[in-house]
Amino acid sequence: MNTVKPRGGRAKTIYSCTECGAQSNKWAGQCGSCGAWNAMIEDVALPRSPRNARFTGYAGEPQIHTMADIESLVEVRTATGFSELDRVLGGGMVHGSVILIGGDPGIGKSTLLQQTMAALSERLPTLYVTGEESLQQVSLRAQRLGVPSARLRLLSETQVERILALAIQEQPKVIVIDSIQTVYTSEVQSTPGAVSQVRECAAQLVQFAKQTGTALFLVGHVTKEGALAGPRVLEHMVDTVLYFEGDGSSRYRVIRAVKNRFGAVNEVGVFAMTDRGLREVSNPSAIFVSRHEQPVPGSVIMVTREGSRPLLVEVQALVAESHASNPRRVAVGLDQNRLAMLLAVLQRHAGVVMYDQDVFVNVVGGVRVTETAADLAVLLAALSSLRDRTISNDTVVFGEVGLAGEIRPVQGGEERLREAVQHGFKRVILPKANAPRRAVEGVEIVPVSRLAEVLDCL
Ligand code: TYD
Ligand code: MG
């Protein structure tokens, strides 16, 4: 328990909800305010100082305006040097915006920000505040990255008041706080990383960013459950929330916008981690599809979607005679239950039986496909392997398969089609409802609405 006596009063233990930040005097299994279960944790009450009143009260005479009175500000955006990062930010970094970057430890958050800041420091005054690593560690990394960082200014400090005092003096245009869980304020007397600390520090930093027009990147840790550690209120306080994710075994990293006041959400940027830092992958479709010289049985190319961006991936299946009493169903990068369901649909509606076969399905390149648009590709790959028949390697498929054996439309059919055409595919098998009204030049469109029609495609 980290209840230390706050200034000018008795230590008061309260309970804060990690979901909505609501506070209560008693612990409860369910938050009375937002209804979240198991979210109340022990905390220390904020002393009622005028500083804290700042966030609840408004100074000056309030005034009501009509929309017409309000001068619309032009958002000033700066390119970060990574076009993939600019894309998720909605077209560059907005001055005065606060961006929270979350991700597992070791995924590359510090690397990404250090590379970005090195590029930015050539054009703008910047400040990189590190609370986790020593200055030596940061400079070692800079050497390894080979980025020009002579002008990047570093600060190893964790007290938010001292950070802000220096920031006021130095007037940087971009600040990185790596990470928000390590900074603390003397206003709140709990340990760094506690809900009230994180919230109060973030509030002070956000206020500074808004008042001075400084762009602020906050690095946030991710808990085991996958949510940003610290209160969810942090997500409400910032303009943009980005998640940096990737498969531990793969060198590809995806940065995803889950909230963005200055752009679209679910936008993704793709990077590859190399021995010299992160490199952007501007044409991800090219890396995930290995075009075979000759078509091979069991390989099907599909168009999936990552955010608003269509992505070509290869689905491979291997169907081999099983000698076990329980044939194996293994799906890598796909949902295993979905695979079992698709095989059942195949048996029931097309009479293709695989109960005496082991079925392995894999998405090439360590990509995870969670959307149902992969159904058709999985089905065709399994069929192709079972019958040892190939699908020509200039064919692309996408579509959802229903339990009644119907082929259902998926979102973003038009973009998927465009991506396939752009990469030179000549034949697209797709749900009838997704078929374009007009013919597309140089591409054969194969609309399907029933499973039986799919079987004819092989
Ligand atoms: P880091 O940016 O420190 O992660 P985070 O700040 O998200 O915790 O990334 C560290 C990982 O990246 C580490 O496992 C080593 C790897 N890495 C490279 O592969 N190449 C590089 O050039 C660098 C700097 C790191
Ligand atoms: Mg780090």
Ligand 1 atom closest to the CA of 244, numbered from 1 = 7
Verify that 342 and 247 share a domain, yes or no.
no
Ligand 1 atom closest to the CA of 145, numbered from 1 = 22
Q: What is the pLDDT of residue 336?
A: 94
Whether residue 32 has its Cβ less than 6 Å from ligand 1: no
Ligand 1 atom closest to the CA of 133, numbered from 1 = 3
Residue 72 lies in a domain: no
Verify that 213 and 306 share a domain, yes or no.
no
Rounded to 5 degrees, what are φ and ψ at 361? -130, 140
Residues whose CB falls within 8 Å of the CB of residue 449, separated by 6 or more in sequence, listed in order:
406, 407, 431, 432, 433
d(CA 378, CA 334): 9
Whether residue 103 has its Cβ less than 6 Å from ligand 1: yes
Residue 71 lies in a domain: no
d(CA 67, CA 400): 45
Verify that 326 and 208 share a domain, yes or no.
no
Whether residue 277 has its Cβ less than 6 Å from ligand 1: yes
**Residue 141 CA: which ligand is closest?**
1
Ligand 1 atom closest to the CA of 179, numbered from 1 = 6
pLDDT 10s digits, 364-376: 877 788 899 999 9
| Residue at a domain's end among 282, 317, 344 | 282
Residue 354 lies in a domain: yes
- How many Cβ atoms from other residues are within 10 Å of residue 116's Cβ? 22
- Provide the CATH number for the domain around residue 104: 3.40.50.300
Is omega for the bond preceding 179 within 30 degrees of 0, making it cis?
Answer: yes
| Residue at a domain's end among 254, 282, 310 | 282
Q: What is the pLDDT of residue 108?
A: 93
Q: What is the pLDDT of residue 387?
A: 94
d(CA 201, CA 457): 60
pLDDT 10s digits, 180-224: 999 999 888 888 878 888 889 999 999 999 999 999 999 998 766
How far away, in angstroms, is 84 Cα from ligand 1 center? Answer: 18
Whether residue 144 has its Cβ less than 6 Å from ligand 1: yes
And the tokens for 99? 């961006």
Specify whether the CB–CB gap between 315 and 377 falls below 8 A: yes
Verify that 16 and 93 share a domain, yes or no.
no
Q: What is the pLDDT of residue 58?
A: 45
Q: Which of 289, 288, 301 is nearest to 380 (CA)?
A: 301
Q: What is the pLDDT of residue 260?
A: 93
- Provide the CATH number for the domain around residue 339: 3.30.230.10
Verify that 107 and 243 share a domain, yes or no.
yes
d(CA 376, CA 388): 17
Residue 146 lies in a domain: yes
Q: Which residues surround ligand 2, an ion (CB under 5 A)?
A: 110
Verify that 185 and 297 share a domain, yes or no.
no
Whether residue 292 has its Cβ less than 6 Å from ligand 1: no
Q: Report the run of H or E that residue 257 belongs to, with start and end.
A: strand 252-260
Q: What is the pLDDT of residue 60?
A: 60
How far away, in angstroms, is 43 Cα from ligand 2 center? Answer: 26
Residue 70 lies in a domain: no
Amino acid at 230: G
Verify that 241 and 327 share a domain, yes or no.
no
| Residue at a domain's end among 256, 282, 308 | 282
What range does the domain containing 126 cover? Answer: 78-282
Rounded to 5 degrees, what are φ and ψ at 56? -110, -30
Verify that 313 and 194 share a domain, yes or no.
no
Specify whether the CB–CB gap between 420 and 430 falls below 8 A: no
- pTM value is 0.75
Q: What is the pLDDT of residue 5?
A: 45
Whether residue 251 has its Cβ less than 6 Å from ligand 1: no
Ligand 1 atom closest to the CA of 111, numbered from 1 = 2
Q: Give the residue ranges of the chain where pLDDT is below 50.
A: 1-9, 50-58
Rounded to 5 degrees, what are φ and ψ at 47? -65, 145
Residue 73 lies in a domain: no
Residue 59 lies in a domain: no
Burial code (b: 16+ CB inside 10 Å, e: under 16) for 144-170 equals ebebebeebebbebbebeebbeebeee
Whether residue 145 has its Cβ less than 6 Å from ligand 1: yes
Give, using CA atoms, the residue closest to atom 23 of ligand 1.
277
Whether residue 109 has its Cβ less than 6 Å from ligand 1: yes
Whether residue 141 has its Cβ less than 6 Å from ligand 1: yes
What is the CB-side half-sphere exposure of residue 166 using CA atoms within 13 A?
Answer: 15
Verify that 256 and 297 share a domain, yes or no.
no
Question: Best mutation site among 128, 181, 221, 273 for ligand 1, i.e. most ligand atoms within 8 A of its Cβ?
Answer: 273
Verify that 221 and 367 share a domain, yes or no.
no
Verify that 217 and 336 share a domain, yes or no.
no
Domain count, the chain: 3
Residue 2 lies in a domain: no
Whether residue 131 has its Cβ less than 6 Å from ligand 1: no
Verify that 260 and 365 share a domain, yes or no.
no
